[in-house]
Structures are given as structure tokens and as C-alpha cells.
Structure 1
């Protein structure tokens, strides 16, 4: 009888150990899947107006920013300029905060804040009937959207037709006729108003 109880205890411990191993494997698999679901952004991507970024300041930091503080980018990153302008202002000087690309990391790009999700027919309807300025991503040489380039803005003027410009240009509208890229791309309403 004592031998049978000992045998039952050993069997229970083995089953318990196997179950714990099963649970551990399941947990590790879930962690691995969750790691793949986290978005990793291209570190070479230029910061754009509307991006949400986090300050990565080392040492004592600055009077106007703390390590881990969240900022909104106010202007597109420009080639040759190390400072990126934030929407937040310095409380001491009243001027916009400038941080270098080495001092910030991307939390959420503008494309996720204002995604391109409208079909071409709906965008054209809004341009024709609502006098809205619509925009679509720039289409690269391979036919894929290039979100690092400025968006293409298009509007319709009765009697003149469609006009377009790059989103980062001011008052440089050119005559334009819609093409295949326009029909296949997803659109969104531009922030700019007429």
C-alpha cells in the first residue's frame, strides 16, 4: 500500500512537471508572438509634421524637456538641419522646442494618426462636390506608396479641372489629370483648407 502511494505521488509530480513545462512553453510562445506584433519603425525615416515622438535625453537632460516626455513634431525634418521643431513651447523663452533626431524616437507616425483609408471614388466626389483638398501618398518607382516623401495634394476648380502640388509646397498648384496611381491609391482629406 505504501509503495502504491509512493508510485501515485511520483506519477502526480511527473504530470505536474509536464503541465508546468507545457504552461511555460505556451507562455514563451505568446511572448514571442506579442514581440512580433509590436511595430518597429525604420530608423532612417525622416520625421514629419504630426509625428508623435519621445525624448531620449541622457545625463541631466534639459530645462525644457525631460527624458521620456512625449512631443508632437511641428515641421518636417530638413536635410542639413540637426534641429527638429516641436509644437510644444519652451516655458522660459516662449519659442518652440528644438530637439535633434538623436534625442528623439518615433512613437507614432503621422500615417497612423491620419491614415490613408478613403477610396478614389469617394475622394473625387469630395473634390468635385465638397470643394475639398484631398491627398494621397507619393507612389514610388516600384508602384508602392512612399510614405517618406510628401503626400500629393489634389483639388478641383470648376472651369480649370484638377490641380496638384506636393504637400510641403506652398501655392504651387499645377494642372493635372488623374491617372492609374490616383485610382489605385487610398486617400485622406488634407489638413489644409482653401
Structure 2
């Protein structure tokens, strides 16, 4: 998972450095290339002027209010990490219920879903999913670095948490075949 997050964060950072916000970061827009690299697709929403865009489970609270920036993409990547670790996005319900929850409350902690990842990794995910953009990491690159460090420290501490959840046929849930999306 960390490898995927780092690659997506690198692509997003490249876009952000050029004043482009993706606006629709989600697993369906992450493809595995010929060499096993992750390719971030569907920048179409980013090119629409004045578009808040996005897919409801992954959009940031500020997008609901019509504000979009690089930290909106960071929030969406944080939702992907949360989902990869827990098997579901932080908020559930109809799209109106999910949007209302995003604006009114912090997402439930992974521990509330019965996922034990350790305090440091939990903290990284919670910071990426902070309601206010100013409370998130300075950049998606910082998020990826913090995630990598938290996982490394967890491994050093002997964490038994399997970071890559198993999907169908025992494959990692965040891996995909060449040219297929990461699920």
C-alpha cells in the first residue's frame, strides 16, 4: 500500500506544483502500468474551470462547500488509504447523508471499525482526513512520507497488522493486473 500511495502522491504533487488539482482521486482512477507502476488517470475534472467535481465518498468537506485546492486531493487519497485498511470508506449512507457527515463531523477512527494499525498510523490517516484543510499535511508528498514512516515504525515495533488487505483469490486488495485499476 505504501508504494502505491507514494506513487499517487508523486503524481499529485507534480500536478499541484503546476497549479492543477485532480478533484477525483479514487481507486478507480489508479491504474497499474506495464512495469507495475501506478498511473493516476482521469484528470478530466481537473481541467473543467470552476468545477468542484469528485466522487462523493472521496470528496473533501471543502469541496461540498465549493472550495477546492491541493489539500482536497490529499483528503481523497486519505480516504483511499482508510478504505484499503478497513475495507470501506469512512462515511456510509446515501450521497446526501455522506456529504452531510463530511461537513459536520470527523471520520470514525480505524480503531472504531475494529482495525488496529497502531497510534502513529492511525494519526497519519486522521490528519489526512481532517475536516479543515489547514489541519492536514502541508502537501501530498508529506502525507506519503508520514505514512511510510508510520508503517516502518510499526514494523520495527513488531506490529502484526497486515498492511495490505487480501482481496479476491488472496491477492492484495490494492494491487491489480497490468492495465487494470487498483481495487
TM-score (norm 2): 0.25
Higher relative contact order (CA 8 A, sep 6+): 2
Task: From the two aligned structures, give the one with the greater strand fraction.
Answer: 1
**Structure number with larger C-alpha Rg:** 1
Q: Which has the higher helix share?
A: 2
